[in-house]
Amino acid sequence: MSNTPAAPQVVVIGAGFAGLAAAACLAQRGYQVTVLEKNDGPGGRACLFRAQGFSFDMGPSWYWMPDVFEQFFARFGHQVSDFYELVRLDPSYQIVFGPQDTLPVPADREALRRTFEQLEPGAGRRLDAFLAQAGYKYEVGMGKFVSKPGRSVLEFADPRLLVDALRLDLLKDMHRHVGRYFRHPKLVELMEFPVLFLGATPQNTPALYALMNYADLALGTWYPLGGMHEIVKAMVRVAQEQGVRIEYNQEVERIEVEQGRATGVRTATGLHRADVVVAGADYHHVEQRLLAPEHRHYSPRYWDTRTMAPSSLLFYVGLSRKLQRVEHHNLFFDEDFAQHAHEIYEAPRWPTKPLFYACVPSVTDPSVAPEGQENLFLLIPVAPGLSGDDENIRQHYYNTVMERLERHTGQPVREWVVYQRSYAHRDFEADYHAFKGNAYGLANTLRQTAILKPTLKSPKVRNLYFTGQLTVPGPGVPPALISGQVVAGEVVKEYPVMV
């Protein structure tokens, strides 16, 4: 009989990006890993559904920071190209400011510089300066800060990190920062738009997040042929190569805790024993619903006072004909940018005249729609926690954005609709237990950065860890990939496999 101790058993709750990343990394290090997923397939918010010949990515549609994906797959001896083909979009996207008023954003740097210069003399040169400092923020932020577990201020005690922190403009807001370089309203909105989904107005977002502009304008906007769910499929394959077992339709009902230690998780099929539990599901739901009150670290008031990133009102639409004057990504800023941001973050309510985003992946990838037809994904960013998410309000906003899309294209788009599905707060809550029906997680404000985010390790249950968009490093697909790797590193340090 072998005297070799059994490898620790890890149960990961949730098969989203963060959960799959954590599972793959831990299995690679010798842990026995089981992923329990509530829904019938992987991906979390990045799941896929098909209808009438259309393939719809339900969530993320922007592929930024390609280096993060390459680095993840390289851990397992793979390249991105082993799993899916990436194409760089050119233009990266277009912004619609009004009738016959669009701004394509070129992928080529020289063409981009000319675009800036045409709008504002001298802006091309200032773009170079802006992206130089944004590149520094990207290098330092992604290389030194984003991978910190955020459990202690001592993680940042290295004097070299403090010097870097001072240069990252943590105490300056994005609006003032952008205003130092650009005055033209179109350029200001172009440079401020990436932070719209970080959970605060540009006035309340640290200028550190100019690194998003670097990701956008320097590293480029990409697309994996077949859709964003191809990333999920690749991660599932990698996890299974490492020996991860993934069980679907297994909603966790309770985390069992004895003497301050999680002993397993219970689903409808029974108890799944664990030496370590990693929660990749919604942090609030796990802590406030799956743990008994005495094992919760945060109070309901704590959660109610968090600043959340936006929710979304989404429409998945299949069209019988092709659209004109659209790119793969289209931002409709033909209404007041500041007013809509105010209605998301400062005076939360259903927007009066919403901005919206239209993704038409069939422009790039014919496989996501029947021949000669168009795949259309519409997104309106809205405040989390809103009441009144019913069919009437959804239909109102559907008609609002469709009217504007029709004006832009000059086509009777609604007459060509052969499939339509809507999705908003109540769906996020039902499918993902999303706190306040949020779509993107916790806002990246200064008061919710690094050690000020919900901790990735429970202070009450010593072998319970959290990963995903409500803890470090924050919302978005690349941060979720990083979050899973960071939490796996913490597990390895504290519960090493004995060989």
Interval 361-376: pLDDT, tens: 999 999 999 999 999 9
Q: Based on the fold, state whether residues 325 and 360 are members of the same structural domain.
A: yes
- 130 and 213 inside one domain: yes
Q: Decide if 490 is inside a domain.
A: yes
Alpha-helix residue ranges (DSSP H) falling in 96-226: 109-119, 123-140, 159-167, 174-179, 185-192, 211-213
Handedness of CA 285, 478, 448, 386 (dihedral sign): negative
Determine the pLDDT at residue 143. 86
Same-domain pairing of 315 and 388:
yes
From 200, 219, 238, the end of a domain falls on: 219
pLDDT given for residue 200 in this prediction: 74
Structure tokens given for 121: 């003399």
Q: What does the alpha-carbon distance between residue 345 and residue 429 come to, in Å, rounded to a whole number? A: 20
485 inside domain: yes
% the chain with pLDDT above 90: 85
427 with 397, same domain? yes
What is the rounded CA–CA span in Å between residue 397 and residue 91?
28
Burial classification of residue 225, based on how many CB atoms lie within 10 Å of its CB (0-12 exposed, 13-18 middle, 19 or more buried): middle
Query: Do 300 and 235 share a structural domain?
Result: yes
The answer as to whether 71 is a domain residue is: yes
Helix segments in 210-334, DSSP class H? 211-213, 229-241, 283-285, 300-304
E-state strands within 324-475: 329-332, 356-359, 374-382, 417-423, 464-466
Whether residue 397 is found in the same domain as residue 248:
no
pLDDT at position 1 is 45
What's the rounded Cα separation, in Å, for the pair 467 and 488? 9
Q: Are residues 206 and 353 in the same domain?
A: no
Phi (first) and psi of residue 117, to 5 degrees = -65, -35
Regions of the chain where pLDDT drops below 70 = 1-5, 154-166, 197-199, 499
Q: Tokens for 288?
A: 């406030």
20-57 pLDDT per residue, tens: 999 999 999 999 999 999 999 999 999 999 999 999 99
Rounded Cα–Cα distance for residues 385 and 356 (Å): 19
- Residues 395, 247 within the same domain: no
Note whether residue 91 is domain-resident: no
Domain boundary (384, 406, 432) is at 432
CATH of the domain at 164: 1.10.405
CA distance 221 to 223: 7
For 192, the domain range is: 108-219
Residue 408 placed within a domain: yes
- Is residue 94 in some structural domain? no
- With a CB cutoff of 8 Å and minimum separation 6, the contacts of 458 are 287, 295, 297, 464, 465, 466
**For residue 132, is it within any domain?**
yes
The per-residue pLDDT for 6 is: 81
Count of domains forming the chain? 3
Q: At what angle do helices 17-28 and 477-494 cross, to 10 degrees?
A: 40
Cβ of 110: how many Cβ atoms within 10 Å? 9
Residues 468 and 456 in one domain: yes
- 432, 458, 486 - which closes a domain: 432
Cα separations in angstroms, 20 against 47, 77, 323, 390 = 13, 17, 36, 33
Check which CATH number belongs to the domain holding 272 and give it: 3.50.50.60
Tens-place pLDDT, residues 177-190: 999 999 999 999 99
| 241 and 205 belong to one structural domain | no
Residues 475 and 198 sit within 8 Å (Cβ to Cβ): yes
333 occurs within a structural domain: yes
Q: How far apart are CA 472 and CA 446, in angstroms?
A: 13
Same domain, 235 and 282: yes
| Same domain for 293 and 210 | no
Q: Which amino acid is at 123?
A: A
Residue 443 gets the label, from left (phi > 0), alpha (psi -120 to 50) or beta, of beta
Sequence-separated (6 or more) residues with CB below 8 Å from residue 222: 63, 64, 66, 86, 87, 88, 89
Best CA proximity match to 124, nearest among 137, 136, 111: 111
